[in-house]
Amino acid sequence: MSKQSTKPPSGTRDFLPRDIARRRHVIGVIERVYASYGFVPIETPSYENLSTLLGKYGEEGDQLLFRLLKRRDALARVLTAGDPQEADLADLGLRYDLTVPLARVVAQYRDLPRFFKRYQIQPVWRADRPGRGRFREFYQCDVDMIGSESLIAESEVLAAVCQVVENLGFDDFTVQVNHRQLLRSMILAAGIALDAEQSALVALDKLDKVGAEGVLAELAERGIAPDAAQTLLELSRPAEADGPPLAALDRLADQLNDDDGQQAIRDLRELNTLCQATVAGRYLRFSPQLARGLSYYTGPIFELNVAQLAGSIGGGGRYDNLVGMFSNQPIPAVGCSLGLERLLLLMDERDLYPELQISAQVIVCNAGAQAEDLLLIAQTLRQAGLRVEVYPNPQVKLGKQLQYADSAAVGIPIAAIVGKDELASGQLTLKNLASGEQQTLPLSEAATQVSVWLS
């Protein structure tokens, strides 16, 4: 067979055992916390009918879908007809996010709880240009509460997410919150027409990245008058970083006087009160310039940021008009998505992983015994709860067996050396490969000694 590339496809990754240990650690923390808040897991197929996906993510999203080529007769028909177009050639698409599948599931299964608290941790695929830490296959960790209009939904989602981030070992993060109705109220107060709302929000959302000048320039480009742009920027002025968390809210309560804006302010105050009763309280900050790009949010929005990290580690908000899209009825929803890949990267940089040994703890080595003796001893050690490998080539010299165990690629800390004479008297020799220490002891005491050395 000719030599070909054995790299994973562009934008994807192989996860070797060490990677898996880290990913499982983080996913385990997320799952345990979400479960403690009463969220339950679902999983959906890797691909959906294209008709389910198309038109849900905007034009750019449609472009980024991975489409599955039709098969056999269905493909033959399209090719025979001649001049096929992209839309004719595919019938299925890889999952692009976890929200559209959730909406489909909520519409399909009518016996779900009325308040459906679900989490979902699965890969999604986007045909983006790979590079700069961007992947085409990456995991999303979504947590959503469906069916409640109460701010308790927001506070539970925020508390769960903050508890996850705390349990992973972070303490220098903030939860910025804002409200879509408040943003609209600011836009109206600035004299910007509502049909430019989405456009203005996209520009405002970049304040962190491009600064005030940058936002003003972009607002001008988007046809918003300089005065209006300036006013919007004033209204959405961030509070002092070390001031009271709701300082800017107090200011806006004076500056805005439409009903929707005042209601949004009351919502945010209540949300703050609720959050103070949870782990989220100490991380919460009102940020009037937080806009979040996605157009589907309808109420409070939030974003999690870690100090000194550009970009967020997660975000979400209330989106009352999306989950019902397949059910033909409005269904209230609050959700938050954590970026798994970014969390993993940060934890790596900050060395936040605990010891995650997953490979064997003991290797059973041969020094003149029968192969079946090695297997029996391995069995005994495994029954004591140890992870045990048997050196699979009994002819090899003991020194080489130990060298293998101690090599960087393997790294098994303890060898159980089985010799003929010792075995005849029910004994074996344990060797601690790090310290060189060695003990000959009865087989029945081996597991205990191994545990002592491991701890």
Among residue numbers 382 through 401, which ones bind a second copy (CB under 8 A)?
Answer: 382, 385-394
Spatial strand order of the sheet with 362-367 comes to 388-390, 362-367, 414-419, 427-432, 438-442
By CB under 8 A, name the one of 115, 198, 262, 320 that touches a second copy: 115
How far apart, in whole angstroms, are the C-alpha atoms of residue 156 and residue 42?
19
In the structure encoding, which two tokens stand for residue 128, read together? 């983006």
Looking at 189-197, 248-256, 307-315, 366-374, which segment touches a second copy (CB under 8 A)?
366-374
By CB under 8 A, name the one of 60, 73, 114, 435 that touches a second copy: 114
In the complex, least distance from residue 192 CB atom to a second copy, rounded to whole angstroms: 29
Strands 362-367 and 314-318: unpaired
Looking only at residues 271 through 330 of this chain, which bind a second copy when binding is defined by CB under 8 A?
Answer: 273-274, 276-279, 325-326, 328
Phi and psi dihedrals of 430, rounded to 5?
-100, 135
By CB under 8 A, name the one of 199, 295, 359, 449 that touches a second copy: 359
Long-range contact set of residues 196-205: C-beta below 8 Å, sequence gap at least 24: 196/222, 196/223, 196/224, 198/295, 199/223, 199/224, 200/224, 200/232, 201/291, 201/292, 201/293, 202/291, 202/293, 204/232, 204/233, 204/236, 204/289, 204/291, 205/289, 205/290, 205/291, 205/292, 205/293
List Cα–Cα distances, 184 to 84, 107, 197, 331, in angstroms.
44, 30, 7, 22
Question: By C-beta, is 218 or 373 nearer to a second copy?
Answer: 373
Looking at 110-118, 246-254, 282-290, 312-320, which segment touches a second copy (CB under 8 A)?
110-118
Looking only at residues 126 through 185 of this chain, which bind a second copy when binding is defined by CB under 8 A?
Answer: 127, 137, 145, 147-153, 155-156, 159
User: Helix or strand or coil: residue 177?
Assistant: strand
By CB under 8 A, name the one of 28, 58, 108, 209 that touches a second copy: 108
By CB under 8 A, name the one of 27, 61, 90, 217 that touches a second copy: 90
Strands 362-367 and 388-390: parallel
Looking at 225-233, 255-263, 300-308, 370-378, which segment touches a second copy (CB under 8 A)?
370-378
Question: By C-beta, is 20 or 210 nearer to a second copy?
Answer: 20
Looking only at residues 235 through 274 of this chain, which bind a second copy when binding is defined by CB under 8 A?
Answer: 273-274
Q: How far apart are the first and last CA of the chain?
A: 48
Number of residues that bind a second copy (CB under 8 A): 113
How far apart, in whole angstroms, are the C-alpha atoms of residue 314 and residue 141?
9
Query: Tokens 């074996």 correspond to what residue?
Result: 428
Question: By C-beta, is 15 or 226 nearer to a second copy?
Answer: 15
User: Helix or strand or coil: residue 66?
Assistant: coil
By CB under 8 A, name the one of 112, 202, 347, 433 that touches a second copy: 112
Looking only at residues 3 through 62 of this chain, which bind a second copy when binding is defined by CB under 8 A?
Answer: 3-9, 12-17, 20, 35-38, 40-49, 51-52
By CB under 8 A, name the one of 22, 27, 84, 262 that touches a second copy: 84
By CB under 8 A, name the one of 360, 369, 430, 450 that touches a second copy: 360
By CB under 8 A, name the one of 81, 85, 213, 399 that touches a second copy: 85
Site map (CB under 8 A) of a second copy, residues 339-358, x = contact: -------------------x
In the complex, least distance from residue 4 CB atom to a second copy, rounded to whole angstroms: 6
In the complex, least distance from residue 70 CB atom to a second copy, rounded to whole angstroms: 9
In the complex, least distance from residue 390 CB atom to a second copy, rounded to whole angstroms: 6
| Dihedral of alpha carbons 53, 56, 59, 65, sign | negative
Question: By C-beta, is 370 or 440 nearer to a second copy?
Answer: 370
Looking at 200-208, 348-356, 409-417, 426-434, which segment touches a second copy (CB under 8 A)?
409-417
Q: Angle 207-221/226-235 helices, nearest 10 degrees?
A: 150
CB 180 within 8 A of CB 301: yes
By CB under 8 A, name the one of 399, 409, 435, 455 that touches a second copy: 409
| Dihedral of alpha carbons 276, 282, 283, 285, sign | positive
How far apart, in whole angstroms, are the C-alpha atoms of residue 368 and residue 394?
8
In the complex, least distance from residue 372 CB atom to a second copy, rounded to whole angstroms: 4
How far apart, in whole angstroms, are the C-alpha atoms of residue 31 and residue 41?
8
Looking at 234-242, 285-293, 380-388, 435-443, which segment touches a second copy (CB under 8 A)?
380-388
In the complex, least distance from residue 15 CB atom to a second copy, rounded to whole angstroms: 4
In eight-state DSSP terms, residue 297 is -
In the complex, least distance from residue 336 CB atom to a second copy, rounded to whole angstroms: 15
